[in-house]
Homo-oligomer: A and B are copies of this chain.
Amino acid sequence: NPAFVSTSESDLSLQSKIEMLLDDLKWDDKGLVVATAQNVDTGTILMQGFANKEAIVRTATQRKATFYSRSRSQLWTKGETSNNFINIHDIFFDCDRDSIIYLGKPDGPACHTGSATCFHTSLDDLIDDPKNVKHRLASSTLYSLENTISQRKAELAVPQTGKPSWTKRLLLDNKLLCSKIREEADELCRTSEEGEDKSRTASEMADLVYHAMVFLAVQGVKLEDVFEHLRERFAQSGIEEKKNRARKVDQSAITKD
């Protein structure tokens, strides 16, 4: 374990502090807890593994998601072979302290298949037609919609027959799309100016989000990039950033000493 051979005194004290805190976790009979890596900007679950105490200490200090491989009986840092590290922003554990979340930003696809997430097979799809199951990512509403819109965009590459869907019309007509975005922003504002109820506000916000997402698809911009912008600007009072800087100092001290 060369990274810890020549740690400075303050690093050692950080490490033993974390170890002490981790004593409270409910380790299973093999000394493990379930460890789930989640994309900090999209909430997508990237992969699930297990972690022992050493794996969590390393993840907390070096800020790359690290697991314990039960088959190889050793620590492994996601990305050590693929270079697709998961850069840690926060670590959470659950109320009965036997499960942790590594909330982080992946450098690339989490799955060896090239998928963003290892969770890309739907049991419901299998039940419907076991012989014709496509890769489909486990993603929440916004990213399912983003995926649907980009499918519609891809379909435009081949000649269209019949009346195009509303999404396709918007994808093809930037003037129409922009007039809709301005209109929906106005309609959202008018829900308060005209004293409409919450459900109307939610519905107008949904209109605005959808049309703006079609715009992003036209421009080739991913929602994840937008939310990364937001995170960088609004990191909770800068606390998270401060912590990451502090940890990076620790880490470079480890490397240099």
Interface stretch, picked from A3-11, A77-85, A153-161, A216-224, is A216-224
Q: How far is the CB of A226 from chain B (nearest CB, A)?
A: 5
A229 within 8 A of B: yes
Interchain CB contact under 8 A, A208 and B216: no
Q: How far is the CB of A169 from chain B (nearest CB, A)?
A: 15
CA distance A205 to B234 in the complex (A): 14
Task: Give the A interface residue count (CB, 8 A).
Answer: 95
Chain B residue with the shortest CB-CB distance to A205 = B226
User: A140-B43, A185-B181 known; A234 and B145 CB under 8 Å?
Assistant: yes
CA distance A231 to B14 in the complex (A): 45
User: A230-B210, A243-B128 known; A43 and B139 CB under 8 Å?
Assistant: yes
Interchain CB contact under 8 A, A120 and B95: yes
Interchain CB contact under 8 A, B94 and A48: yes
Chain B residue with the shortest CB-CB distance to A48 = B99
CA distance A148 to B239 in the complex (A): 13
Chain B residues, CB < 8 A from A42: 43, 140
Q: How far is the CB of A171 from chain B (nearest CB, A)?
A: 12
Q: How far is the CB of A232 from chain B (nearest CB, A)?
A: 9
Interchain CB contact under 8 A, B230 and A142: yes
* Chain A contact surface mostly: helix
Chain B residues, CB < 8 A from A230: 141-142, 145, 206, 209-210
Interchain CB contact under 8 A, B94 and A119: yes
Q: How far is the CB of A208 from chain B (nearest CB, A)?
A: 6
Chain B residues, CB < 8 A from A95: 111-113, 115, 118, 120-121
Q: B-facing mask of A176-214, CB < 8 A → 1, else 0?
A: 001001101110110111000011011101101110100
User: A122-B91, A206-B226 known; A178 and B189 CB under 8 Å?
Assistant: yes
Interchain CB contact under 8 A, B206 and A221: no
Chain B residue with the shortest CB-CB distance to A184 = B185
Q: How far is the CB of A229 from chain B (nearest CB, A)?
A: 4
Chain B residues, CB < 8 A from A208: 185, 208, 212
CA distance A231 to B97 in the complex (A): 33
Q: How far is the CB of A174 from chain B (nearest CB, A)?
A: 6
CA distance A91 to B119 in the complex (A): 10
Interchain CB contact under 8 A, B228 and A103: no
Q: How far is the CB of A50 from chain B (nearest CB, A)?
A: 9
With beta carbons under 8 angstroms apart, the residue of B118, B142, B202 that contacts A225 is B202
